[in-house]
Amino acid sequence: MKLQPFPHQINEYHGKVRDVYFIDNELLVMIASDRISAFDVILPNPIPFKGQVLNQIAAYMLKATDDICPNWLLSTPAPNVAIGKKCEPFKIEMVVRGNLVGHAWRTYQSGARTLCGVNLAEGLNENDYFPTPIITPSTKASEGHDEDISETAIIAQGLANAADWDILKKYTLALFERGKEIAAKQGLILVDTKYEFGKIGDTIYLMDEIHTPDSSRYFYAAGFEERQAKKEKQKQLSKEFVREWLIENNFMGKEGQTVPTMNPEWIDTISKRYIELYEQVIGAPFKPEPKTDEETYDLICAELERLSK
């Protein structure tokens, strides 16, 4: 989506999935595109309605958690657009895990028993619950791959001071607990997720998206224990299936590897999986709301004018 500048726009940033526009250094216009990324690489084909799914789940979850901590969101003037407060971001992703899965499992399977300074017990199987959720932060890279980092290194490198880090941990665990409660009501298990935070003055705000299929992994609760006892693959809702498909096709974002071709059937499958997750998490039918770039631009401009009054 290429839009003409907005009134009072001073800068813009195009990420792997989101396009962000800075308004008067006070507001952000964040457009969730239909782009999809994995292993920190943008895949070549957009996924229909993915941006709307991400934006609407995030807005729903931000509203459902605004009693835990302040968040950046002010309004959602279009299906894939959010407008909110500009914060000074911490250059950390607060990754929180309830189960041994994904990157944590791959690390564990390699023989490592420490992840981001957190000690992991022996004898765990893939998808097992941790005794209590663990926080395994990563750096927030502007380019290239995010890297695991420990609490000690975060404070030593000045990515957060000790007082702010304590607040970040408290918010992260409380948000994850709320996310698990919301998921449980829909027959799901929130397995792991990530949060991003920033500051305005001395106040820490929750930023960006939360509990979406791009930032989170969900398992179906029904049959979880039986599948785990038999060491069967868990039925999940996340974009991990995209990562698994890429791995099967010899792509993990490493130098010299080529992104495999995504045929129309596979693109449609991914779109349907995103919509399925929306309906499972929200508990309501997904209503596609396609908008042209011109319609989206006009809706954003009208909302910026309203917010400026």
| Distances from the Cα of 149 to the Cα of 28, 99, 238, 262, angstroms | 28, 19, 24, 33
Q: What is the pTM of this model?
A: 0.90
Tokens of 208: 């960006």
CA dist., res. 31 & res. 82, Å (int): 7
Q: What secondary structure, in 3-state letters, does 97-158 show?
A: EEECCCHHHHHHHCCCCEECCEECCCCCCCCCEEEEEEECCEECCCCCCCCECCHHHHHHCC
What is the per-residue pLDDT for 239?
82
Spans of the chain, pLDDT less than 50: none
What is the per-residue pLDDT for 146?
76
* Residue 284, Cβ density class (10 Å: 0-12 exposed, 13-18 middle, ≥19 buried): exposed
What is the per-residue pLDDT for 226?
97
Strand partners, 200: 203
Q: Which helix (H) or strand (E) holds 37?
A: strand 37-38
What are the pLDDT digits (tens) for 172-185? 999 999 999 999 99
What is the per-residue pLDDT for 279?
95
Which phi and psi (to 5°) does residue 70 adopt?
-65, 150
What is the per-residue pLDDT for 141?
66
Considering only the top CATH level, what class is 89-241?
A: alpha beta
What are the pLDDT digits (tens) for 28-47? 999 999 999 988 889 999 99
